[in-house]
A and B are shown apart, each in its own frame.
Chain A
Amino acid sequence: NAGVTQTPKFRVLKTGQSMTLLCAQDMNHEYMYWYRQDPGMGLRLIHYSVGEGTTAKGEVPDGYNVSRLKKQNFLLGLESAAPSQTSVYFCASSPGLAGADTQYFGPGTRLTVL
């Protein structure tokens, strides 16, 4: 089992460019999450999904879009990157409501927007 994997691991963008971060999990989990982690701010939820084909907004959704077309994948898109989106992005998955507290995290993607 690879667990939760994230692609890419690092990326540098210029302001206004777009990109997609890919998260994949092989644990057949229902729930998937995208967080950003910034110094002094902790983990903040961007968007999440409670099942294939569903998405919902988290605490800081502006400037991001997501899609969950397949159960195992959760994509995070930045349509027009801004320097404020420089952060470390973590994807996580969990089995479902009863096990939602055990979130399994990926290794993170370090994104810099110039």
Chain B
Amino acid sequence: QKEVEQDPGPLSVPEGAIVSLNCTYSNSAFQYFMWYRQYSRKGPELLMYTYSSGNKEDGRFTAQVDKSSKYISLFIRDSQPSDSATYLCAMRGSNFGNEKLTFGTGTRLTIIP
């Protein structure tokens, strides 16, 4: 079993829809949770960052962490064609020596105009 599980999709939704992307994890030591966005043939870029449980909002994007369920989500409101990309979740523990991130496999998202 992988430490981080992510549905690879692909996921296609019409423009303007709300998108929900999710990851589950098994390592209870994970404390920091991130979402990276990767456009086709490009390197990933950090989109959202949260610590421990709770919500964080940034414009049309909301990240949620539920540590009790070991489940994290990324919501995209009013989705745009420019949101079409692969979204990777990533996480790590809090102690020194945890410089390494564990990534999910990524979910490929297409927003249909």
Task: Give chain A's interface residues, CB within 8 Å of chain B.
Answer: 4, 31, 33, 40-45, 48, 50, 58, 90, 92, 94, 97, 100-108
Contact = CB atoms under 8 A, between A and B. Distances in A.
Interface residues of B, number: 22
B46 interface: yes
B101 interface: yes
A109 B108 CA distance: 20
Contacts of A108: 41-43
Contact of A101 (B8, B42, B49, B106): B49
B43 A101 contact: no
A44 B92 CA distance: 14
Nearest to B6: A42
B49 A103 contact: no
B71 interface: no
A90 B44 CA distance: 9
B34 interface: yes
Given A44-B103, A90-B43, 12 more contacts: A41-B105, A42-B105, A43-B44, A90-B44, A92-B43, A101-B32, A101-B92, A101-B101, A103-B101, A105-B45, A107-B43, A108-B43
